[in-house]
Structure formats: structure tokens, C-alpha cells
Amino acid sequence: MALDSTCFATGKHIKYLTLILNSKVGNYLLKDSPKTGTGDLLISVQAIEPVKIPVPEYETENRLNIIFDEIINSCLTAELENKINSIVYDLYNLSDEEISFIELQ
């Protein structure tokens, strides 16, 4: 995952981190980050550093890793994205009201 033109994130939890940051919660948490001319987020180490990423239980991270691999090998990403968002909502213990707020962003 490229964070900016000079920095890359690596490690054994990279799939988990990628899915968290690309979930609706991740997009909400990074909504105030700088954007490119096309509107894409310009993610920097400074933008990610204050974001609180929950430490998952093994089973949760494993479920997300499986979904990550399915996305890479599939064209049916909408259903998989919904699964990811549901798991991430649980990780952050979000209420239905908070989920609705994020869904509308």
C-alpha cells in the first residue's frame, strides 16, 4: 500500500490495514485528509498516524484476509465490501445510529 510517493506500508497485517482504511469507517476517519486534483485521498503517514486502528482477534483478521484475497481474485466486490464494512463496524463497536451516519457520508 502506497502512503505517499516516498513511503510504503508493509508487514504481516497489511491486508487488514488496507481493508480498514478502505472501509466506510476508514474513509470517514480520513475524510479531512488532503485530496488530489481528482478528489482521491492523498494519504500520508501524518494522516494515518492519529487514526485508531483496533487490534483484531485472530479470527476477525483471518476473516478479513480471506475477503481481501477474494476481492483480488473476483469481480464481485460490492458484496465483499459490504461484508468488510459490517466487520469493521463491529470492530469499532458502532451503534446503528453511527453506522447510518457513516453510510450517508
Residue owning grid cell 465483499: 80
Q: How many CB atoms lie within 10 A of CB 28?
A: 14
Domain count within the chain: 1
Bigger pLDDT: 15 vs 42: 15
Per-residue pLDDT tens digits for 25-48: 998 988 888 778 887 777 777 777
Q: Which of 53, 59, 58, 85 is nearest to 71 (CA)?
A: 85
Per-residue confidence (pLDDT) for residue 25, from 0 to 100: 95
Average pLDDT over residues 56-73: 94
pLDDT band at 2 (very low <50, low <70, confident <90, very high): very low
Domain that holds residue 81: 2-103
Indicate if the pLDDT at residue 1 is higher than 60. no
Average pLDDT over residues 77-100: 94
DSSP assignment of 40-78: -B---HHHHTTS--PPPPHHHHHHHHHHHHHHHT-S-HH
Q: What percent of the chain has pLDDT over 70?
A: 92
Q: Which of 57, 47, 62, 53 is nearest to 20 (CA)?
A: 53
Residues 21, 25, 27, 33: is their CA dihedral positive or negative? negative
Bigger pLDDT: 12 vs 3: 12
- pTM here? 0.70
Amino acid at 23: S
